[in-house]
A and B are shown apart, each in its own frame.
Chain A
């Protein structure tokens, strides 16, 4: 239990300090930013709880929490006014509570309540906006491929152009080996077809993001972060377990881990120094609730 609280504490330490300074913004947005940061911390906790419930693997859940805690996109969205961040927390809460509800009527009632609250806290979701101009088939296919491309996931996330961390991907490049290992393990052991229902939500979010008329400005894709977190956590967990078997694997894993730390240091420097500079140069505060 203590580890869970420790991770939540780390998440808080990353998301709350200097909310009115990094990134720069209007002081009037500070309350909304606090709410967003709070949602971010809660979502880290909920991801850990859900993965612990589903997999019965405490280590895996802790690793998932750590990964989400440090994920660049999640940090970025937790420190700005972000409806999608709050929406993610709500979806995670719904997913967690859903399994404990005793009856079908409760589930239906919960779903209805969830939909209304989701609409209220994430009104910028493109379906609610009323602009339903869909891209062409070729554009949709291109968008779908872009959202699962290496470039988007690890190098350049441009879903939030004026204000986003577009010189970084959703995750850091150092996560590539763990992510690929996680994908491999899912295909090999988890049974891709058998667990298809778990991927159904991912497919829905993926398609909704791809057909958004605002693409590439479609932060809806942020809602898949729990999936990416789980995949990376699976990879890391496997690496850690294997590192216990032989010294050479341990050395390799420690080297890999040190590299991840180095990347996070780079990210922190970029976020606290260069990201601010770029936002100040480009951003017009009066126009967006940032």
Chain B
């Protein structure tokens, strides 16, 4: 009987094709609507396309002010070609991320191969003899079907594209260990990653330090060859530094308002405990027992651990919509078993590789551990690299120990289990999420704006409650407002709320009362106007309800009242 010979290249092409099938079609349906951050990026991409400036009139910004959260610019700029081709819609916004998400699946295959070469593991082209090739293929396959990666690839939430460039930079670094010219591109890759997401401003420097420590011999022997990469990396970062000098929030922006140091919880805890120590308790001792360095350190460690908690990874997932996948964690439950086996295999076989993977895990979680909204699937997204590697290592570990007949049985069993898990995820993502949790994605704005656009000429004023998120950006997006005219129509309130978000008070005849309350604000509503509220906002019974925008499950998203 002829032995089967695996051709890795054919398999990786098929896996990449599978990844594309799971990421690119129906971007307008899954997820069910465009989130406010996506809409903001899309409109700013459109604005750059039309005028070269963002919605604030800033020319080619290195950070988009958006809602006062200063979004990193990479994904927005990557949207420009797709917005040009597809227009201001879900495909225009999400397609570039989906394409890069697909290519990430391909890229991680090459990364794992270079990774093994870098750690002096023999690797050849014959898959059947070489577990490293098989591990690379399985890592790629696991990423292709990973619910966490699929969900992020199908939405424009910054981290999907960032992961692509991060893996690209890592791959080029490892290639550079044998041919240093790749370090130039690697430096550029790392620098570009910094423009992708706030967390990368912590992750990238730590990664570079880690790589320098692990491969110091290679780096020292080729030290002169680092000069050009360093210059290239620095050149790429000049716009960011320049922007920082003019506006510090460009670098820190949103990171400041979600950081644990911004949250007052620890300060209040210290104050409470010191108060309970009593007035007679020596103050110096009170500070010794209750102090910020210790409490913040413990808090960071705790939040770090939350991202390795099985409940986050396998059962409940992210605590905050829209990053949740209903009814499951960020990974498949069966991944947990293979992660454990992969870790055991790694620990038993190679100390240096173990240390590298564990440090990579630590670096991946560090930005997330510094924020108070934890666990966060967005900020810990790069954890996918070591986890998928461990899953594949675990699968290979199990199969290696078996003889051929049992190996086939176990392979079939693994395939069946993963298929079952995947089908469950598919059902949750394509049926349950759009039907029962469309509100997580601010569903209804497209329909609302369409309705308002059709009727706006009949009314003198249209009020949209500020509790409905950020209605102004949806108006700009769905009405495809000419960016050149925005500045003259918009009235902004730059006072940030408790979460650091700024507000828009009005846009043309549309007004957005920030903390709308019927009792307080109803008297200021003009006659012959419309009022739009969320379904749970209280309005007088005798006000004429003329339309309701509903979620797919029949519940009301928005109510439209006529004010006479």
Contacts and interface: CB of A to CB of B under 8 A. Distances in A.
Interface of A: 138, 141-142, 144-146, 148-151, 154-156, 173, 176, 184, 187-188, 192, 265-266, 269-270, 273-274, 277
Given A187-B343, A187-B347, A277-B276, A151 B305 contact: yes
B348 A142 contact: no
Given A151-B305, A154-B301, A173-B301, A146 B311 contact: yes
B343 A149 contact: no
Interface string B342-376: 01100110000000000000000000000000000
A269 to B, nearest CB: 5
Nearest to B343: A187
Given A187-B344, A269-B289, A277-B276, A145 B314 contact: yes
A142 B343 contact: no
Contacts of A270: 289
B552 interface: no
A83 B314 CA distance: 34
A32 B347 CA distance: 46
Contacts of A154: 301-302, 305
A149 B277 contact: no
B315 A141 contact: yes
B414 interface: no
A138 B315 CA distance: 7
B273 interface: yes
Interface residues of B, number: 23
Interface in B283-334: 289, 294, 298, 301-302, 304-306, 308-311, 314-316, 333
A230 to B, nearest CB: 18
Given A141-B333, A155-B302, A156-B302, 19 more contacts: A142-B316, A144-B310, A146-B309, A146-B310, A149-B310, A149-B311, A151-B302, A151-B305, A154-B305, A155-B301, A173-B298, A173-B302, A176-B301, A187-B348, A188-B347, A188-B348, A273-B276, A274-B273, A274-B276
Q: Is the interface of A mostly helix, strand, loop or mixed?
A: helix
Nearest to A172: B298
8 contacts: A145-B311, A150-B305, A151-B302, A155-B302, A156-B302, A188-B348, A192-B344, A274-B276
Nearest to A262: B294
Contact of A145 (B273, B304, B310): B310
Contacts of B302: 150-151, 154-156, 173
B348 A141 contact: no
A202 B276 CA distance: 39
A151 B298 contact: no
Contacts of B343: 187
Contacts of B305: 149-151, 154-155
A277 B272 CA distance: 12
A248 to B, nearest CB: 16
A77 B123 CA distance: 55
Given A142-B315, A188-B348, A148 B298 contact: no
B310 A148 contact: yes
A156 B316 CA distance: 19
Contacts of B306: 149-151
Nearest to B308: A150
A146 B277 CA distance: 32
Nearest to A153: B305
Nearest to A188: B347
A241 B304 CA distance: 29
Nearest to B289: A269
A274 B306 CA distance: 26
A148 B316 CA distance: 16
Contacts of B309: 145-146, 149-151
Contacts of B344: 187, 192
Contact of B311 (A142, A192, A277): A142
